[in-house]
Amino acid sequence: MQDLTEPILELIRLTSTDLPPDVEAALRQALEQEAPGSAARSALEAILQNVEISRRNSTPICQDTGTPIFYVRYPQGWSTRQLRAQIEAAVVQATRKSYLRPNSVDSLSGRNTGDNLGGDYFPTVHFEEVEGDTLTIDLMLKGGGCENVGAQYSLPYSRAGEASFQAGRDLSGVRKVVLDAVHQAQGQGCAPGILGVAIGGDRGSAYFASKETLFRRLDEPNPNPELAALEQRLTEEANQLGIGPMGFGGKTTVLGTKITSLNRLPASYFVTISYMCWAYRRRRMIWRDGQARYE
Amino acid sequence: MRQISIPISDEVIRSLHAGEAVALSGVMVTGRDAVHKWMVDTFIRQTRTPEGDDMEVYRAIQPLLQGGVIYHCGPVVAGLDSKAYRFVAAGPTTSIREEPYQGEVMRHFNIKGVIGKGGMGASTLAACQEVPGVYLHAVGGAASLIAQTVTRVLGVYKLEFGVPEAMWVIEVKDFPAVVTMDAHGVSQHAAIEQQSRAALAELLAKP
């Protein structure tokens, strides 16, 4: 089997230091919406300046380089055991080169392992065997600030003393709890954020899917017209909350919404929201004929 | 943009108002989750006994925090092997996690400025009025940009907490931030929370 450690290291460098073009374009568009001289506009100016500096100097866009989450789609014949070992080797090297912050902390002792390894879930690697002869590795770096403001609602959902807040088991209910989650997050998830929403599933699969759906490009509409309409409506309405970049107030609270649905049990109806910060670091490596290409 | 030197006098603190953009210069100390818990447990509420170099570190950070600034930041640092430390990426972390500790820490050390992101709550706002102090909001995620304002790393304490959680003593020049909670009881975060709550109620009333 070929050794992919070097190309994976490049995938990590690119992900940590170079924001994807669709995200940068959305941030530029957001900047135009904000009033000249406003705190919201200054924040977006600083954000875009930072994106340029990071790209030029190969330094992390955000110091919280998150949990490295890899999705590996491999053709028949590859060893997932060896791929995992190569991913881990690349993660260790990326940490040494300051593309990643040492982020893996033993929850019992509080000790930081120093190299971003630790247990079966750090880094997180999902494997799936696919047809054909192309291997792809998607990487997402999702920081803790935005991970902390993620939320899961079990529908029907209501809150004492808030008569208007009745979320039932339909898309209208989904809409309500997603808007509530955006309000709860305020600026703490580094707004303007991107919402990854999973309808259904169980508590575990739904969080997984809510992150996976964030791999869709911002300009890529949902193939399901009903969900596409809801995505657009949620983005527009979230932006009416006036939370704004960094929670400074303003017109841009979210850059986009991505929704997916999973089959559920008759008894359960979860709505799960993964909030992605503006520093939406996700990249893909495509390995074919012994060559790596990056998107 | 108003230039502010650290340490900061009470007079300067009281002249700052929510919404004002500042550029900070001087020496500040990073500290986040592990540091705040350690400070409160060991020296303020004293629910644990100092051990190892705790007292030595306490004496070293006291003069730095007196009239000084604490920065909620877990940086990416180069030069760990050679100890020729250099900040590579150093944006703010979410401050609200320090809400149970921040007021007590400000009062105990006479800290004048707390830098972070996302804002803090009522007990920190009360401490800002009392000490007096301000909460300064840096742009979350602007890590490479902010790291360029760190001119020198003067030292590090409690590195055993891990690189992100250690107390890094840094010299900064023109560190950009916005006052979002001032010493007069004004919090922009509380105002935005209320406005957005009203907007949410309107949206929820729609089908």
Q: What's the rounded mean pLDDT across residues B151-165?
A: 98
**Do A270 and A151 fall into the same domain?**
yes
In the prediction, which pLDDT does A135 show? 97
Task: Compute the radius of gyration of chain B from its Cα atoms.
Answer: 17
Residue A234 within any structural domain of the chain? yes
In the prediction, which pLDDT does B102 show? 98
Domain containing A219: what range? Answer: 146-276
CA–CA separation, B142 vs A50, rounded Å?
A: 5
Residue A31 within any structural domain of the chain? no
In the prediction, which pLDDT does A278 show? 98
In the prediction, which pLDDT does A121 show? 92
The answer to whether the CB atoms of B192 and A59 lie below 8 A apart is: no
CA–CA separation, A97 vs B77, rounded Å?
A: 10
Tell which residue, A282, A275, A189, has the closest CA to residue A234: A275
The answer to whether the CB atoms of A190 and B141 lie below 8 A apart is: yes
Average pLDDT for chain B: 97
The answer to whether the CB atoms of B200 and A187 lie below 8 A apart is: no
Angle at A58 between CA A53 and CA A61, to 5 degrees: 60
**Do A128 and A170 fall into the same domain?**
no
Nearest CA in chain B to A46: B142
Q: Flag whether pLDDT at A161 surpasses 80.
A: no
**Do A195 and A252 fall into the same domain?**
yes
Q: How far is A46 from chain B (nearest CA, A)?
A: 7
Q: What's the rounded mean pLDDT across residues A233-254?
A: 98
Q: What's the rounded mean pLDDT across residues B49-73?
A: 98
In the prediction, which pLDDT does A1 show? 78
The enclosing H or E element of A134 equals none
The answer to whether the CB atoms of B195 and A249 lie below 8 A apart is: yes
The answer to whether the CB atoms of B19 and A179 lie below 8 A apart is: no
CA–CA separation, A180 vs A238, rounded Å?
A: 9
Q: Flag whether pLDDT at A98 surpasses 90.
A: yes
ipTM of the complex: 0.94
Instruction: Give the number of domains in chain A.
Output: 2
- In chain B, pLDDT over 90 holds for what percent of residues? 98
A50-95 pLDDT, tens digit per residue, is 999 999 999 999 999 999 999 999 999 999 999 999 999 999 999 9
The enclosing H or E element of A230 equals helix A225-238
A174-220 pLDDT, tens digit per residue, is 999 999 999 999 999 999 999 999 999 999 999 999 999 999 999 99
Instruction: Write down the CATH number for the domain with range B2-204.
Output: 3.20.130.10
Q: CB-based contact (8 Å) between A35 and chain B?
A: no
CA–CA separation, A21 vs A171, rounded Å?
A: 31
**Do A9 and A138 fall into the same domain?**
yes
Q: What's the rounded mean pLDDT across residues B146-161?
A: 98
Q: Which two tokens stand for residue A167?
A: 């979320």
**Do A196 and A269 fall into the same domain?**
yes
**Do A10 and A132 fall into the same domain?**
yes
CA–CA separation, A177 vs A155, rounded Å?
A: 9
Residue A245 within any structural domain of the chain? yes
Residue A122 within any structural domain of the chain? yes
B82-128 pLDDT, tens digit per residue, is 999 999 999 999 999 999 999 999 999 999 999 999 999 999 999 99
Confidence bin at B57 (pLDDT 50/70/90): very high
Strand partners, B168: B156
Listed in sequence order, the residues at least 6 apart from B194 whose beta carbon sits closer than 8 Å to its beta carbon are none
**Do A151 and A265 fall into the same domain?**
yes
Q: CB-based contact (8 Å) between A177 and chain B?
A: no
A111-131 pLDDT, tens digit per residue, is 999 999 999 999 999 999 999
**Do A211 and A126 fall into the same domain?**
no
Q: CB-based contact (8 Å) between A194 and chain B?
A: no
Q: Which two tokens stand for residue A156?
A: 């029907």
In the prediction, which pLDDT does A165 show? 86
Residues 72-111 of chain A whose Cβ lies under 8 A from any Cβ of chain B: 98, 100-103, 105, 110-111
Q: Flag whether pLDDT at B207 surpasses 90.
A: no
In the prediction, which pLDDT does A160 show? 78
Nearest CA in chain B to A63: B89
Residue A46 within any structural domain of the chain? no
Tell which residue, B16, B96, B197, has the closest CA to residue A180: B197
**Do A228 and A122 fall into the same domain?**
no
Q: Flag whether pLDDT at B41 surpasses 90.
A: yes
Residue A210 within any structural domain of the chain? yes
Could you tell me the residue ranges of all domains in chain B? 2-204
**Do A166 and A235 fall into the same domain?**
yes
In the prediction, which pLDDT does A159 show? 85
Residue A55 within any structural domain of the chain? no
Tell me the chain A residues in contact with residue B89 when contact means C-beta distances shorter than 8 Å.
54, 59-63, 98, 101
Nearest neighbour of A101 by CB, restricted to B164, B200, B205: B164
Q: Which CATH number does the domain housing residue A120 bear?
A: 3.30.360
Nearest CA in chain B to A279: B141
The answer to whether the CB atoms of B141 and A47 lie below 8 A apart is: yes
Q: Which residue has the tokens 């250099």?
A: B86
Q: Which residue has the tokens 């931030």?
A: B177
Q: What are phi and psi of A121, to 5 degrees?
A: -110, 5
Residue A34 within any structural domain of the chain? no
The amino acid present at A207, given as its one-letter code, is Y
**Do A191 and A271 fall into the same domain?**
yes
Q: What's the rounded mean pLDDT across residues B30-35?
A: 98
* Contact call for residues A218 and A276 (beta carbons, < 8 A): no
The enclosing H or E element of A183 equals helix A171-185
Q: How far is A10 from chain B (nearest CA, A)?
A: 18
Number of Cβ atoms within 10 Å of the Cβ of B1: 12
